[in-house]
Amino acid sequence: MSTVIGRPVDRVDGRAKVTGAARYAAELHPPGLVHAALVTSTIPKGRITAVDAATAERAPGVLAVFTHVNAPRLPYRPFDERPDVDPPGEALRALQDAEVRFNGQPVGVVIAETLAQARHAATLVTVRYETRAARTTFDRARGRPPHDEAEARGEQRRGAAVRAFTQAPVTVDAWYTQPREHHNALEPHATTAEWHGERLMLYDKTQWVENVAIEVAHALGIPTEHVRVLSPFVGGAFGSALRTWPHVIIAAMAAREVRRPVRLELTRRELYTSVGFRPHTEQRVALGARRDGRLTAVIHEATAQTSAYEDHTEETPVPPRMTYACPNVLSRYRLVELDTNTPTHMRAPGVVTGVFALETAMDELAVALDMDPLALRLRNEAKHDEDEDRRWSSKELRACYRTAAARFGWQHRLPRPRAMQHGPWLVGYGMATAVYPAYRSEASASVTLLADGTALVRTAASDMGPGTYTSMTQVAAETLALPIERVRFELGDTEMPSAPVHGGSLTMASVGCAVQAACDAVRAKLGVRAQGPVDYPAALHRRGLERIEATATAEPGDESAQYSSYAFGAVFVEVRVDVDLGVIRVPRIIGAYDAGRIVNPKIARSQCIGGMVGGLGMALLERAAWDPRFGRVMNANFAEYLVPVNADVPEAEALFVPSDDRRANPLGVKGLAEIAICGVAPAIGNAVYHATGVRVRELPITIEAVLGG
């Protein structure tokens, strides 16, 4: 019987974080530390014709200035296998040539004794360019299939969707726009690089320490085992730290050249160009249905931006293909090359975008059918994954609908738009379905039992905020039958057992299963096979041991060939819209989720609220203001790029329906971080329509759009 898993345990790392004991990448101070600042391009495309760094080199405290003119040529050793988080193409090789591929590209770096000196000197570097015509305007007509994945994502068919659509008695056909968004985590990206002879120590903000070691070794041409990466704490990332960005390699190169530890911390503005973003995506969803609401056709066309040097693709077509039962489905996915930096994964990448378009179109179909939006979704529930033609490993979506609708009071909704009002506010109720794949990867962990009756658990995983330290401690304590305070968990070091990328909501299913397996292995090694408490000090003493250690690897089996694994959810939202001013407020968001076994409901609730807030920002606030003249984001700061604050979210509630998916993995979990953002934006948009009668198909939903409708 579970005694620790399922308890709302406080964060074991909470005290370190609130007291400042936790150290992040920009808070390490090795002896002799100096600072670096980037010089970035001011044109979207062209070639550097001249660089004048003389004034910067004479500035106080400056140790060196590197540009493509004098930076060492890095070998960029070929990969035996390209890292999963890198898209097809060739990653930017900063300071290696005179080519400018986007506005904001690093074209130089200044190293100085203090950060202020470095940043001031960076402004003194003069760079002259030969400009070239740049593609800075999104035009979906230029879209093409991804270079290396045309068959997988370019187009997929099931049945005869076009014919079924033209014959359907009720149809919806519209385009939906998701703008470019940025992660804006609390902690900026930073790297501290320190050389010890031929070996490199990197303190980096990353979601995958092992990948940083591989990519830096590849760039510098040194053995991977000569690079140690530490990242014990990450102050939020949401996907922005999955890749190893050029500033990491620049920091390592600079530290080697000046023979001192170097810290390179990106400014808030540089976060809009030096790391990726959620890409601008335009989607057509065409739905055909019988008059009873049964779907007969789903057509989905998505066109997304990428850079001119890499093909970033996402799972945008997946939700329209599998969320609902439909015999005829057609999906197409295209990319538009722009002269900008490469997009990257951002919380629920692609899936949240596809869900937005699909769930808005489903609401439009409900209106066309004069049918309750929840009833429409229930009528079209998919009994199995029709896209992959596999059974669900588990599915409690109906329980999510039922639980959230009851808690929300959906039965009190008046169907007609503008029928509900509270004083000067129009009131709207909206809902949407949420889906996200339940991933799992191979992972390893080690467990050491000590003579004092404590356990040390270690793995190279990351923790960017979802509570990895705590949940893994709970799994270990449960499996070892130890009090939670007798278990110490460590992560974020390439010298620890291998772990996969900390993204895609796969950490609990992957690393958690490895921790469980390692705990079982160390008990077996000690000769303890039965479940229940053990006097570990006595057991070690009988064997004359001070400690005993075991390492285990857990990996997926053939379950993915037998079952389709997804987390599911239902999101219900109330909005209020000022009758005269068009101001939108969201007093309530309620979500119910089937996320498998919940290891820690307190942390799980926190993750869901964070996802809801992110979805609210997507719906009402977040958008990069793009200036095609310069090929640059113009609101690259917290003053103008709007994100939700406490006053924007009066009530957010997360509910978890009973679920335990042992078909997916031994722990029965399905991942949680991403599912919570999915469905929020369309639920808000659907509620805005219900309140006002104005359908807005482009995010964010603005006052102008509401009043203009």
Residues labelled catalytic: 674
**Nearest residue to 129 (alpha-carbon basis) of 69, 53, 51, 48:** 48
Query: Six-digit token pair at 539?
Result: 């057991």
Vertex 283, ends 183 and 648: CA angle to 5°? Answer: 40
Instruction: Give per-residue burial for 431-456: e unless 16+ CB within 10 Å, then b.
Output: bbbbbbbbbbbebbbbbbbbeebbbb
Query: Six-digit token pair at 481?
Result: 């039958």
**Nearest residue to 472 (alpha-carbon basis) of 487, 482, 453:** 487
Q: Are 407 and 570 in contact (CB under 8 A)?
A: no
Vertex 312, ends 309 and 315: CA angle to 5°? Answer: 165
Distance (Å, rounded) from C-alpha 439 to C-alpha 445? 18
- Rounded to the nearest angstrom, the gap between the alpha carbon of residue 446 and the centroid of all alpha carbons in its chain is 27
Distance (Å, rounded) from C-alpha 477 to C-alpha 166? 59
**Nearest residue to 680 (alpha-carbon basis) of 566, 567, 565, 574:** 574
For the chain, give percent helix, strand, coil, nearest 5.
Answer: 30, 25, 45
> Which residues lie closer than 8 Å to 54 by C-beta, 6 or more apart?
none
Query: Six-digit token pair at 153?
Result: 């994502």
CA dihedral 144, 150, 155, 158 (to 10 degrees): 180
CA dihedral 233, 277, 244, 678 (to 10 degrees): 60
Q: Are 636 and 626 in contact (CB under 8 A)?
A: no
Q: Are 241 and 207 in contact (CB under 8 A)?
A: yes
Angle, helix 351-369 to helix 601-620, in steps of 10 degrees: 70
Distance (Å, rounded) from C-alpha 388 to C-alpha 215? 34
Distance (Å, rounded) from C-alpha 235 to C-alpha 183? 12
- Tokens 């529930």 map to which residue? 381
Output the CA torsion sign for 384, 389, 393, 397. negative
DSSP 163-204: HHHHH-SEEEEEEEEE--B----SSPPEEEEEEETTEEEEEE
Q: Are 235 and 204 in contact (CB under 8 A)?
A: no
Q: Are 477 and 486 in contact (CB under 8 A)?
A: yes
Taking CA atoms, 64 is separated from 55, 58, 358, 678, in Å, by: 12, 10, 53, 47
How many residues in total does the chain contain?
709
**Nearest residue to 206 (alpha-carbon basis) of 228, 232, 184, 179:** 232
Q: Are 476 and 489 in contact (CB under 8 A)?
A: yes
